[in-house]
């Protein structure tokens, strides 16, 4: 597709956005400029634009493979991506797995604390106000930038992306501490993951050494900023080759397949109208001795993990988050090999 030479329609802190001949497609140019603390600190990170354009490309492709729709179309040069035009929802969607950055500052928690469960939080994408933290009510009723349905969809996609990223990065020796996503709506009304996916908006720590391999090296003057970005590019490329080639990831030798059976039933003190109706019908057929009938569901699947206890932990988490409603349902997990 010919690229229209033009003035940017938007200049961000690290990217310029240009129109193309196709009104639905934009060109994102990744610069080397770096900012931190709401642009109070400014600098350059050599070749950051190239690193971030390529890492974003590979991670957007990973998302698409995992049914997470993104604005990515293709990479057209070492610093340029073609992306779908979207109306950006002015929210910074932040996921945290390990305490760092503003969470530690706000709550006085020690950096490195593993959070009980991933946290999704929203900030208002507004530099003048310093990207303030938002509540759902602020978003829906005060800013009116998203409704309940859109926030639910964003939260579900973000948590799914988090699990996918955690798995992908673990295979290349990286812990995903936290990251910030932005979403937009395209011309057909579809919600798409937008912006970029890079060490600028993720915190990455080396699994073995906890070395920081992201923009915190620039924010905190830790030195070897360029080296950290290059290291991340090298590892992401390595991880992507593994996915593309279908080879086993590095630590696959220890991965086993477990069969899972989850039984979900309404809690004993919860009214179960379906169960009651069947009990009544059985009674009318003469089976009057049937009591306390409950109707539930059984879910079966396979899961690949390193151990049975890891499988149990993951499945329990799935039950609590999706497969059962712990307020009204009990669940029982059986894991076999
Ligand atoms: P924190 O709120 O701890 O400063 O940031 C949490 C995560 O979101 C970090 O991975 C950080 O890089 C990312 N993040 C937060 N705000 C911004 C922002 O304005 N721009 C970018 N690129 N990333 C951000």
Could you read off the pLDDT of 235-246 as tens digits, one per residue? 999 999 877 766
Ligand 1 pocket residue status of 178, Cβ below 6 Å = yes
Containing structural domain, residue 283: 255-336
250: in domain:
no
Q: What's the CA-to-centroid distance between 253 and ligand 1, angstroms?
A: 35
Q: What's the average model confidence in pLDDT over 19-27?
A: 97
Residues 176 and 209 both lie in one domain: yes
Q: What is the CATH number of the domain that holds 294?
A: 3.30.1280.10
Look at residue 4 and tell me if it is in a domain: no
One domain for residues 85 and 161: yes
Task: For the chain, give the mean pLDDT.
Answer: 93
Query: 109-123, 201-215, 251-265, 317-331 — which is least confidently predicted?
Result: 251-265
Q: Could you say which of 226, 245, 264 is where a domain stops?
A: 245
Instruction: Name the phi and psi angles at 159, rounded to 5.
Output: -65, -35
Contact criterion met (CB below 8 Å) for 82 and 27: yes
Q: How far apart are CA 214 and CA 202, in angstroms?
A: 7
CB 38: neighbour CB atoms within 10 A?
A: 12
CA of 203 to the centre of ligand 1 (A): 8
Return the H-helix or E-strand segment holding 327.
none
Q: Helix-strand-coil percent breakdown of the chain, rounded to 5? A: 35, 30, 35
Segment 72-130, tens digit of pLDDT:
999 999 999 999 999 999 999 999 999 999 999 999 999 999 999 999 999 999 999 99
Ligand 1 proximity of 30 Cβ (cutoff 6 Å)? no
How many H helices and E strands in the chain? 8, 18
Q: Which residue's CA is the nearest one to ligand 1's atom 9?
A: 179
**Starting from the edge strand earliest in sequence, which strands make up the sheet with 174-181, in order?**
133-134, 114-124, 91-98, 174-181, 202-206
In this structure, the answer to whether residues 292 and 233 fall within a common structural domain is: no
Residue nearest to ligand 1 atom 3, measured at CA = 101
Report the pLDDT value the prediction gives residue 1, as an integer from 0 to 100: 44
Q: How far is the CA of 26 from the centre of ligand 1 (A)?
A: 24
Tens digit of each residue's pLDDT (9 = 90 or more) over 132-160: 999 999 999 999 999 999 999 999 999 99
Determine if the pTM surpasses 0.85.
Answer: no
Nearest atom in ligand 1 to the alpha carbon of residue 100 is 3
**How many CA atoms, within 13 angstroms, populate the side-chain half-sphere of residue 236?**
26
Please indicate, yes or no, if residue 102 is contained in any of the structural domains. Answer: yes
Q: Examine residue 2 and state whether it is found in any structural domain, yes or no.
A: no
């Amino acid at each position: 597709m010919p690229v229209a030479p033009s003035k940017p329609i938007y200049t961000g802190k690290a990217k310029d956005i240009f129109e193309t001949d196709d009104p639905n497609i934009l060109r994102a140019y990744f610069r080397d400029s770096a900012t931190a603390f709401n642009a109070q600190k400014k600098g350059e990170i050599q070749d950051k634009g190239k690193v971030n354009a390529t890492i974003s490309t590979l991670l957007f492709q990973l998302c698409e493979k995992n049914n997470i729709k993104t604005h990515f179309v293709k990479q057209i040069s070492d610093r340029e991506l073609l992306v779908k035009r979207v109306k950006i929802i002015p929210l910074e969607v932040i996921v945290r797995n390990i305490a760092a950055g503003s969470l530690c500052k706000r709550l006085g928690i020690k950096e490195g604390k593993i959070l009980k469960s991933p946290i999704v939080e929203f900030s208002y994408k507004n530099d003048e106000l310093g990207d303030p933290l938002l509540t759902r009510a602020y978003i829906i009723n005060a800013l009116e930038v998203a409704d309940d349905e859109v926030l639910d969809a964003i939260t579900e996609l973000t948590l799914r992306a988090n699990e996918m990223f955690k798995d992908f990065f673990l295979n290349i020796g990286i812990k995903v501490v936290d990251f910030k996503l932005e979403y937009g709506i395209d011309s057909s009304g579809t919600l798409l993951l937008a912006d970029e996916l890079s060490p600028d908006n993720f915190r990455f720590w080396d699994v073995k050494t906890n070395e920081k391999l992201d923009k915190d090296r620039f924010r905190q003057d830790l030195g070897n900023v360029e080296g950290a970005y290059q290291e991340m590019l090298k590892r992401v490329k390595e991880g992507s080759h593994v996915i593309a080639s279908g080879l086993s990831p590095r630590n696959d030798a220890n991965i086993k397949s477990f069969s899972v059976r989850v039984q979900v039933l309404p809690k004993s003190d919860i009214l179960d109208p379906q169960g009651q109706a069947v009990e009544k019908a059985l009674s009318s057929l003469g089976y009057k001795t049937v009591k306390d009938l409950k109707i539930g569901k059984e879910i079966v699947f396979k899961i690949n993990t390193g151990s049975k206890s890891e499988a149990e932990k993951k499945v329990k988490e799935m039950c609590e988050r999706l497969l059962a409603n712990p307020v009204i349902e009990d669940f029982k997990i059986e894991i076999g090999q």
